[in-house]
Amino acid sequence: MATIKRVLIANRGEIAVRVIRSLKEMGLSTVAVYSDVDRNAPHVLLADQAVSLGPAPSTESYLNQHKILDACRKLKVDAIHPGYGFLSENAVFAREVAKAGITFIGPSPESMEIMGSKLNAKAAVSSYDIPLIPGTSEPVKEGPDALEQAAQIGYPLLIKASAGGGGKGMRLVESPDDFLSQLNRAKSEATTAFGDGSVFLEKFISAPRHIEVQILGDQHGNVVYLFERECSIQRRHQKVIEEAPSMAVDDRLRRKMGTAAVQVAQAAGYYGAGTVEFMLDPDGNFYFLEMNTRLQVEHPITELITGTDLVKEQVSVAQGNPLTFKQEDLKLNGHAIECRIYAEDPDNNFLPDVGTLNLYQRPQGPGIRVDDGYYQGMEVPIYYDPMIAKLIVYGKDRTEAIQRMLRAIDEYRINGLRTTLEFCRFVMNHQAFRSGSYNTNFIQDHFRPNQQNNVDPGLQKVAAAFAAHITATSQKSFKKPPNAETSSNSWRLRAKDQ
């Protein structure tokens, strides 16, 4: 069994902060890494030690495997927690970590490779009774054969990249006339984004719901599912709002999807925390989409409805311990909702925004959790994902959770850039969401620019003037956290000079 005493968190922002907090509760020593623009970020100040990785671009910092492993060796780190994004699903990195004698807090490289390719994943689960969306099982090549394959599936259809996700390398094709041009574009985008131009074809399901199941496995062959999350409110195929459990899933369907998710994990010999994603059609049929071999952004809502700290469970599994609970021990309790607060302008096609958090005040009170990596006065850089925070609420039922989220949104004060806060309010108040009768087309069906704000113009002017006054006052009194090299806590950053 692996002994873990010191953990390096190979990430930044809110997930680094979130992981550090659980590690500290476990009595473990923590090491943060940071780029130049993150020198005074909360995750750096919170960790016991911190190491500079260099310039802001992720390729020169958070994706630099050599620098991260070198820091681990110098500081005698026992394990690496990758968070999500960056190197979290990189099998090559996981192997290098193991070669260095360091524990990777995540699945095996072999499991990553199987599930890292959507085509490999489908092949792996094909021996189980897991429903798959009709489509091709091999990479599609250009030419007449591709057109014939598309005709057999029928239009409309999706062209999807085998590697990666987030909507990159994905094209919806309505007719044969557009097929070849869209195929070339999808392959080109997939090559640029993932270094792998392999794409496949899949039947397009209109008005689906995106349901995912959290699983947890140990290195002794035990796997459980921690129920489902509804992730259908998306822009550009990326999630904005999630809730657990789903209004579209009853107990019978929950057991079927949960069993299928466990089988997917078993097909890959999976251990650690992972997420199996499904598409649910309007008739109640579900289909396997993919598996994410890491902790998901939206994991907090599962933690709230199950009373489980998934990061602590990840560490326990990485140390070789068996799961401490069985499937029958897990119970659904209450309802949780997560809103991702992005630095984006919903009125301008959700384009990212940058700026300084001149005013930043978190909501508080019963049932509210804010996972973030910023404080007032910080700049939101252009180099990374534009998510500022995850606003999470818990209630005894869905109605209470929605009302609590609305209160939390009212209390959240952000000034200096555009965010998705008001869009989240729009969703919480919309009848389609409140009734639970929504799908992945929510934004295109219900949202129009400038719909989210129905505030009296005069009141807006008063609010703007007040915000300007608060900003000016806060800037006078605001003291930037001391530079790590010159502060009394400079020992936290000494490792960067070693």
Phi/psi of residue 25, nearest 5 degrees: -65, -25
Rounded Cα gap, residues 247 and 44, in angstroms: 39
CB contact at 8 A, 203 and 185: no
Residue 19, both tokens: 């992981």
Six-digit token string for 222 = 């035990």
Q: What is the number of other CB atoms lying within 10 angstroms of the CB of residue 352?
A: 16
Token pair in block for residue 393? 């609420």
The DSSP annotation for 277-333 comes to EEEE-TTS-EEEEEEE-S--TTHHHHHHHHT--HHHHHHHHHTTPPPSS-GGG----
Nearest to 389 by CA among 294, 300, 273: 300
Which is it for strands 335-342 and 344-345: parallel, antiparallel or unpaired?
unpaired
Encoding tokens for residue 387? 């998510």
Q: Which two tokens stand for residue 120?
A: 């490999």
Q: Where are the beta strands (DSSP E) in 165-222?
A: 171-173, 199-203, 209-217
Torsion sign across C-alpha atoms 281, 284, 290, 292: positive
Q: Does residue 245 have a cis peptide bond before it, meaning omega lies within 30 degrees of 0?
A: yes
Indicate if the alpha-carbon torsion angle 250, 256, 262, 268 is positive or negative: negative
Closest C-alpha to 194, from 172, 171, 170, 168: 168
Give which of 367, 203, 349, 371 is closest to 300, Cα–Cα. Answer: 371
User: Using CA atoms, how far apart are residues 494 and 489, in angstroms rounded to an integer?
Assistant: 10
Q: Which of 294, 404, 425, 492 is catalytic?
A: 294
Q: H-helix or E-strand containing 81? A: strand 79-81
Strand boundaries in 191-297, DSSP class E: 199-203, 209-217, 223-235, 238-244, 272-280, 286-292
User: How crowded is the C-beta side of 155, counted as CA atoms within 13 Å?
Assistant: 12
Distance CA 295, CA 21 (A): 15
407 in catalytic set: no
Contacts 24+ apart (CB under 8 A), 259-263: 259/225, 260/128, 260/130, 260/131, 260/213, 260/286, 260/288, 261/213, 261/215, 261/225, 262/215, 262/223, 262/224, 262/225, 263/125, 263/128, 263/129, 263/130
Provide the annotated active-site residues: 294
